[in-house]
Amino acid sequence: MPRLSPLATEVRLSPRCLLNAGSTSSLSSSFTSRSPFGLSRQPSVSSGQQQNTMPCHHHGRQSSSTSAELSQYLPPQTYCRSTTSPRHSRQNSSNNNKTPPMIPPRRPYVMTSPSGCSTKSAAGNNSAPVVPPPTLLKLSPNSIDLGYHTMVTTTESPPPFREPPPPVPPAQLIRIDSKKLRVSYNKKANHLDSLSDDLVLRIFQFLPKNCLCQIARVCRRFYFLAWEAELWTHIDLNVKNCDLALTSLMRHLSRDSTSQKVLKICLKNSTEFSDRGLELICQTCPNLRHFEVKNCKSVTNFGVQSLLQKCKALSHLDLAGCTSISTVTLPMVQDQAGGAGGPGGPGGLQGGVAPSSSPSLNLQFLDLTDCVRLMDQGLHLIAKNSPHLRQLYLRRCINITDHGIKYLASYCLHLKELSISDCSQITDFGLYELAKLGPNLRYLSVAKCDQISDAGVKEVARLCYKLRYLNVRGCEAVSDDAIEVISKSCHRLKSLDVGKCDVTDVGLKLLSQHCTGLRKLSLKSCEMISNSGLQAVAVNCRGLQQLNIQDCPVTLECYRLVKKFCKQCIIEHTNPGFY
């Protein structure tokens, strides 16, 4: 075969030329090859020297020609440029370091000789070279050839070695007691497990109901204890949408008839409570005795009537701020005769409902504060159907007149506490009627009823001589004459409020002489009193606990004198110099 001329230094060989077994053997030997096992470089030889050279095997791997063919797919630092002769190989190798190596072409598959087989040069053998069947090698999927170690053959290779994960520490340390032959766990002690169910129930009684619902989710034991009937005799809810809350709560309590043992329900800030919630309470809590709901505009007469009809043991009803309420009574049947009690009679209500001989209510406490729709007709029904009424609060029911007060004195003979504050239509005639209650009346508040004078207060003081609390604040027509009758008749008086009244030192001296057991006294804005009146009160009423002298012409010496004799007294004043 003719000798090939040397190649130029800058000529780049195509990898396809390397696949020719005869003519490219001398050229392929000029490349520097690196064994997959990191052996040293092999010097390039000429075609004449290769005839006397035996095939070289590196531990049963590819020969020099085969390794030269694979050298084009090795990393770039293993390539060098071809030289003209072996004598210039060292010099050319040094010059090649200055220029960047050439990158072989990227091909998905190449054909090489099988591992461990080498081919001889065409010059050493006259016969045609035997080309072994090619083997497909699959390159790395990366776009850049990373070398021989990234080439994956079709034969399966063992999986890479991975370090085993560290052992997982045990969740709990187990300590074996050999003496008692039992296993104990190193965990924090739960003190509730050592308590009996009775003690746990006693603790749960001090928790609000929303917390009990959360505690029921802790464990199985707490679930059964949290829904015990004795914990749900009193229900206090402070949610906005009480209808939804009561629906869910009563569903749980009705499973084992626990709801029948509910005696008290208090709903606070329940602005969205309606008659639907009242109907639910009627169906599930027939033994209810105490019910409070405030500032609910959606509660109407129909819901209250249903509540009173089905909860016959109800004795405490607080509907303060429910502006849609006009009366509190049982559902009534229309009189067929259409007499005086018919729709047009004096005892009838708006809507054509007539009073009848229905059973009386068991109400003893009723609070209708700010129920502005309550009128004399509604108050008539309340008084007639509630003969056992003890406490009645009608603050700011501005539509009530003396006629409604007359019904109270006629039917509610056991009334002890009555508040008609800010009912501006009440006059002395109404107090004349209230005086008929006699010594049963213990609490009376007519604050800011500006049409009341000394005459009405005197009448009440003479007949209701067991008064404990009297509030005539804002009744500017009340003077020392009324105070004199009060002091001489009501010796058991404990609290008196005469703010903004025409009271002088004379009235205070009479009051201090006869009502020595006074505990609370309010003289706010009484501009006609002086130090002498307060000194008499301080000397005689030494058990005084609260004193209001705001906007009163009192000096510092009088203030100190009151503090000296009434050591437990809390004084309210507006003078910044008092200390």
Same domain, 61 and 135: yes
pLDDT of residue 193 exceeding 90: no
Same domain, 142 and 215: no
pLDDT of residue 235 exceeding 70: yes
pLDDT of residue 492: 93
At residue 377 the predicted structure's pLDDT band, cuts being 50, 70 and 90, is very high
At residue 394 the predicted structure's pLDDT band, cuts being 50, 70 and 90, is very high
Domain final residue pick, 104, 123, 153: 153
Domain final residue pick, 229, 254, 281: 229
pLDDT of residue 233 exceeding 60: yes
Range 101-111 burial, b when 16+ CB lie within 10 A, else e: eeebeeeeebe
At residue 214 the predicted structure's pLDDT band, cuts being 50, 70 and 90, is confident
Domain final residue pick, 102, 132, 153: 153
Mean pLDDT calculated for residue range 479-483: 94
At residue 531 the predicted structure's pLDDT band, cuts being 50, 70 and 90, is very high
Mean pLDDT calculated for residue range 170-177: 59
The reply to whether 112 falls in a domain is yes
The reply to whether 534 falls in a domain is yes
pLDDT of residue 194: 82
Number of domains in the chain: 3
Of 527, 521, 528, 404, whose CA–CA distance to 470 is shortest?
A: 521
The reply to whether 527 falls in a domain is yes
Q: How many CA atoms lie within 13 A of 163 on its CB side?
A: 3
| CATH code of residue 212 | 1.20.1280
pLDDT of residue 104: 55
The reply to whether 390 falls in a domain is no
- Whether 407 and 346 have beta carbons less than 8 Å apart is answered as no
Q: pLDDT exceeding 90 applies to what percent of the chain?
A: 40
Same domain, 117 and 198: no
Same domain, 141 and 19: yes
Same domain, 120 and 223: no
pLDDT of residue 44 exceeding 60: no
Same domain, 89 and 202: no
Same domain, 93 and 215: no
The answer to whether the pTM exceeds 0.85 is: no
What are the structure tokens assigned to 439, written together?
């010594």
pLDDT of residue 52: 43
- Per-chain mean pLDDT for the chain: 74
Return the minimum-mean-pLDDT range out of 27-41, 401-415, 488-502, 537-551.
Answer: 27-41
pLDDT of residue 219 exceeding 90: no
State which residues form the domain around 210.
193-229
The reply to whether 300 falls in a domain is no
The reply to whether 372 falls in a domain is no
At residue 475 the predicted structure's pLDDT band, cuts being 50, 70 and 90, is very high
The reply to whether 484 falls in a domain is no
> Which is more confident, 132 or 24?
132
- Whether 366 and 328 have beta carbons less than 8 Å apart is answered as yes
**Tokens 């399966």 identify what position?**
156
Per-residue three-class SS string for 137-206: EECCCCCCCCCHHHCEECCCCCCCCCCCCCCCCCCCCEEEECCCCEEEECCCCCHHHHCCHHHHHHHHCC
Same domain, 118 and 223: no
CA angle 388, 393, 394 (to 5 degrees): 120
The reply to whether 25 falls in a domain is yes
pLDDT of residue 158: 64
Would you put residue 506 in left (φ > 0), alpha (ψ -120 to 50) or beta? Answer: alpha
Question: Mind listing the pLDDT tens digit for each residue in 100-118?
Answer: 555 555 544 444 444 444 4
